[in-house]
Amino acid sequence: MSYAISSRGLALIRKFEGFRAAPAPLPAGGWLVGYGHVRIGAAGSRLTKTEAAELLALDAAPFERVVNRALTVAVAQSQFDALVSFAFSVGEAAFLASDVLREINAGNAIAAAQAMDGGARDDEFAHALVSRRAAEKAMFLKDAPGAAAPSALVRSRCSPGERLSAILRAEPATQALLLTQPAPQSGVRELASGHAAPVARRHGRHIPRLGFNFGAASENFGLAALLMFGGALLAGGSSIVIGGDGVDLLAGSALAAPGLAAIAMAGYGLWRGGPHVESADA
């Protein structure tokens, strides 16, 4: 099936190309006039908006043919209009190599719309290009099948893996970058996989681990310091209580209680890193 750009599609191009009544010189030669029309040779005369609109229809015709030839799936009129505007803006070669075309031919209309956001230049036209891509994207999605979009209170039924896959399909450059990154070799205790962590085995023997986790020496030193601090508080409180009166009893208890708490926390921490015995499989 062959498509033709509609009046709405042409209006979109007119809006973002802008109207130039008088020819303006181009850096590479030629003259820009009307709605993005390029004159070669002499500058020529001024144009009215009607004349410029007629020239635009002629200029858009080659891009209609390019999009028609490149499409391998049926599209809605609004999608075709957006694709012609996009091709008119980026040029034939860039359109044919774009993720927009690849995704729409793969049947991924939403991914194709998302791909329109890429490729904005960082120059004086960046703001205008972002606005144009947004308008083309909106036109592309105008006749897309509607569905309720989950709010913050309603979670999507898609799994996180499915959502990540959809994002990566829409951003192939990011996907390629992630796939080429080496896996980290340090700082990872255990990979999240369906396999249990490997256990050292000796037939018929028990394999004890070292009493303390010397790989976390700073943590052990801190626990030991906490233990000594708690002991000092406890000893100080006990010395006040022994042989004292009621006031001394209260003061000693107030000093000894934090000491007992510190000793308990330090002891629990050291016990967590203490010796364990693992049974080996026969």
Distances (CA, A) of 210 to 221, 257, 270: 16, 32, 12
Residue 40 CB burial class (10 angstroms; 0-12, 13-18, ≥19): exposed
Residues 6+ apart with CB under 8 A from 164: none
Judged by DSSP in three states, 277 sits in: strand
Structure tokens at 269: 């921490």
Distances (CA, A) of 254 to 214, 228, 232, 234, 249: 35, 18, 13, 10, 9
Catalytic residue among 17, 64, 103, 171: 17
DSSP 8-state code for residue 274: S
Residues 6+ apart with CB under 8 A from 120: 126, 129, 130, 133
Angle at 97 between CA 91 and CA 102, to 5 degrees: 120
Pairing of strands 206-208, 277-279: antiparallel
17 has catalytic annotation: yes
Are the CB atoms for 201 and 279 separated by under 8 Å?
no
Q: Which of 167, 267, 178, 266 is nearest to 222 (CA)?
A: 266
Catalytic residues: 17
